[in-house]
Amino acid sequence: MTDDAGSSGEARARATAYVLQRYHLTGLQEARERLTPGQFAGVTRQIDEVEAQLTGRARPAVAALAGDTRGIATPFGRILPATGLLLIIIWLVFALETLQPGGSQDNTILATLGATTPDLLATHQYWRLLTACFLHIGVAHIASNSLALVWLGSLAERFYGPLRFLGIYLAAGVAGNIAATVLEPGLGAGASGAIFGLLGAMLAGSWRNRPIIGAEASRALFGSLVSLLVINIAISFIPGISKFAHFGGLLTGAALALLIPFRSPRYPRAYALAADGVSAILIVAALALGLTYAGVH
């Protein structure tokens, strides 16, 4: 009993020192004085999480997600803020498509609004590599991608956090469109490349971060995602679907997962800041493509 209490007290002290050091605080009293109540509550939650990991009481990541109450509950799963923002933008753009004469399946409308085109590279219309990620061809297309984004997007956002999630999503979407433009020139639109990027990031991330989430949770998460991957690879070969956008996004997401880790207090602060910096650069670079629109108009 005494040993257990001593071990628990030592783990608490180590966890407290670790978290406070990340925020350049010398003690809980200083944290209470310098931080807002909300910030202080966040710090104490992080201390609890680190202590649980040190004492072996941390829940496996997959099981922990089942009890996650963040975000907005829907019949298809919880939607977190960054995922919700992407869904709103996608559906607003789709509404704009459908209001045009010919609707969302008219090639002229799609090209006008920003779908990728065979002459994209020759005409230097690089902004299409980004805008095409937010266009969809028909109700079935946007409905299927929205359902995938609700589940896979919120899953990735929980593990990576909103900044890293958005960096991976946008970079994978752009990379998928580059692959499709080079290897399969034609009219292209949809968020599938970006969503496949999230799938690749979660697959590689479940292996990359196994010391953080635990070997058992890593295997469970990887196994469930492999099943999803097999199904989606089969779908990618259906005529009319851009398999190169899918595979380009998938490989990009997996590669980025080797650089950008899951969020965890167990990673050094400098490493976490570097990962956030890389993610911010990816977001700025993707958005900068949109600004090239001004150069050709």
The structure tokens listed for 175 are 């990379």
Q: Which of 228, 45, 40 is nearest to 147 (CA)?
A: 228
Last residue within a domain, chosen from 58, 82, 104:
58
What per-residue confidence (pLDDT) applies to 64?
45
How large a percentage of the chain has pLDDT more than 70?
Answer: 87
What per-residue confidence (pLDDT) applies to 260?
96
Which range of residues forms the domain containing residue 186?
A: 63-296
Written as one letter, the residue type at 39 is: Q
> Which of 17-31, 163-177, 282-296 bottoms out in mean pLDDT, i.e. has the lowest?
17-31
Q: Is the pLDDT of residue 10 over 50?
A: yes
What per-residue confidence (pLDDT) applies to 56?
55
Give tens-digit pLDDT for 116-172: 999 888 888 999 999 999 999 999 899 989 988 998 999 999 999 999 999 999 999
| Same domain as 93, residue 178 | yes
Residues marked as catalytic: 192, 246
| Same domain as 137, residue 11 | no
| Same domain as 81, residue 51 | no
| Same domain as 146, residue 22 | no
What per-residue confidence (pLDDT) applies to 111?
94
The structure tokens listed for 13 are 């002290």
Q: Is the pLDDT of residue 37 over 90?
A: no
Q: Is the pLDDT of residue 51 over 80?
A: no
Q: Which of 127, 115, 122 is nearest to 242 (CA)?
A: 115
The CATH number given to whatever domain includes residue 209 is 1.20.1540.10
| Same domain as 74, residue 204 | yes
Average pLDDT, the chain: 85
Q: At what angle do helices 243-257 and 162-183 cross, to 10 degrees?
A: 140
| Same domain as 8, residue 100 | no
Confidence of residue 13 (pLDDT cuts 50, 70, 90): confident
Q: What is the DSSP string of 113-146?
A: HT-B-TTTTTTT-TTHHHHGGG--SSHHHHHHHH
The structure tokens listed for 10 are 């030592």
DSSP 8-state secondary structure symbol assigned to residue 293: G
**290 neighbors 131 (Cβ within 8 angstroms):** yes
125 HSE (CA, 13 A, CB side): 18
| Same domain as 198, residue 117 | yes
Which of residues 260 and 50 earns the better pLDDT score? Answer: 260
| Same domain as 142, residue 25 | no
| Same domain as 116, residue 233 | yes
Q: How many domains does the chain have?
A: 2
> Which of 107-116, 239-248, 252-261 bottoms out in mean pLDDT, i.e. has the lowest?
239-248
**74 neighbors 150 (Cβ within 8 angstroms):** yes
Give tens-digit pLDDT for 54-87: 665 544 445 444 445 567 877 767 789 999 999 9
What per-residue confidence (pLDDT) applies to 76?
66
Confidence of residue 214 (pLDDT cuts 50, 70, 90): confident
| Same domain as 119, residue 77 | yes
Written as one letter, the residue type at 20 is: L
| Same domain as 103, residue 82 | yes
| Same domain as 243, residue 130 | yes
> Which of 2-16, 81-95, 163-177, 204-218 bottoms out in mean pLDDT, i.e. has the lowest?
2-16
What per-residue confidence (pLDDT) applies to 7?
59
Torsion angle, CA of 63/69/70/76, rounded to 10 degrees?
80
